[in-house]
Amino acid sequence: MSFDTLTPRLKQVSQGALSFCKKRYGKNGLRIGEAIDDDIGWKPTFHFKPRSSLIIGIEVNEVLYPTALKVAAHDIKLFDYPISVYLGCPLEVYQADPQQRTIQQLRKHGFGIITVDDQGKAVIQCGCIPLAQHIPESEFDEEVRSLPQRIRVAFNTALTTYQTNEGQGVQEGSQIVEALVGTLAEQTVRRGTATRSALTGTAADTIDGLYVLPSFKNHRAALAGARDFLREHRNVASHPSGTAKEAIAKIRRCRSGFFEAVRTTKRLVEAIKALGLRPTIHVT
């Protein structure tokens, strides 16, 4: 099926969105009215591959959050190829959404929005990243809720980075964990429980130094968790992904890594509090 089955208004929106996308992303892999894959329960109005490790699908509809997208979201997230999805709609429909409730819902679920006005001019109202990479704000807020405010803010900044560069975002998360380990070491030295020379070197060395201290006996799980996390995710940003499969694997690793950074931080914060120290960080 091509645009032929659409109403005149949606045909205009499709054409506007298509010309816009061609200009912005090129027309590599452009397919109109074809499925991305048999395993995905959705046939976008059109889709293309702006680069070898990304597919962008556009669903043109009068309805702001069409059922087709709701049904397909799960398949897209699990699919072995990073896919970003935009809803293309008439500008009038976008503007008519009461208090932008549906728009917020679309964004929350990781979809982008392209509007097209009566003259055929297309505008990205809201960008998007591959659905597999997307972290909903509500899920993030729930995770960081119990953290001290300063650390929460640092994770918020890391999330912003993550949304444009997943590897960099996780790296920022790792830096928060490292900073917290640094704080812990600094306060332990100040308290006189360990010497400065015993807690120098990399974050991993510092963790090893803390691990053997008798006062940390009950908090070794938190320290071991931090060490494992840093080993696993510290350099994720510097591992480029060549193929789409590698790209989706990296995205999934980064997504879980980002949450792991938050959880590791939570465990460290609990340990710091239990030791009667102050959980704060100095991230540069």
Contacts with other proteins by CB under 8 A: the residue count is: 22
In the bound state with other proteins, the residue whose beta carbon lies nearer, of 1 and 249, is: 1
Among the listed ranges 18-26, 64-72, 108-116, 155-163, the one in contact with other proteins (CB under 8 A) is: 64-72
Long-range contacts of 186-189 (CB under 8 A, 24+ apart): 187/272, 187/277, 187/278, 188/213, 188/215, 188/277
Q: How far is the CB of 7 from other proteins (least distance, A)?
A: 4
User: At closest approach, how far in Å is the CB of 63 from other proteins?
Assistant: 5
Nearer of residues 9 and 252 to other proteins, judged by Cβ: 9
Binding span for other proteins by CB under 8 A among 7-15, 21-29, 144-152, 272-280: 7-15
- CB of 42 vs other proteins, minimal distance in Å: 6
Q: Which window, 59-67, 135-143, 185-193, 195-203, contacts other proteins (CB under 8 A)?
A: 59-67
Instruction: Return the residues of window 17-36 that contact other proteins according to CB under 8 A.
Output: 35
Among 13, 14, 16, 42, binds other proteins (CB under 8 A): 42
- Choosing from 31, 43, 77, 152, the residue that interacts with other proteins (CB under 8 A) is 43
> Cβ closer to other proteins: 38 or 197?
38
Residues 78-137 contacting other proteins, CB under 8 A: 92
Q: How far is the CB of 39 from other proteins (least distance, A)?
A: 9
Query: Which of 17, 21, 40, 203 contacts other proteins by CB under 8 A?
Result: 40
Q: Are 129 and 110 in contact (CB under 8 A)?
A: yes
Binding site for other proteins (CB under 8 A): 1, 5, 7-10, 35, 38, 40-43, 61-63, 66-68, 70-72, 92
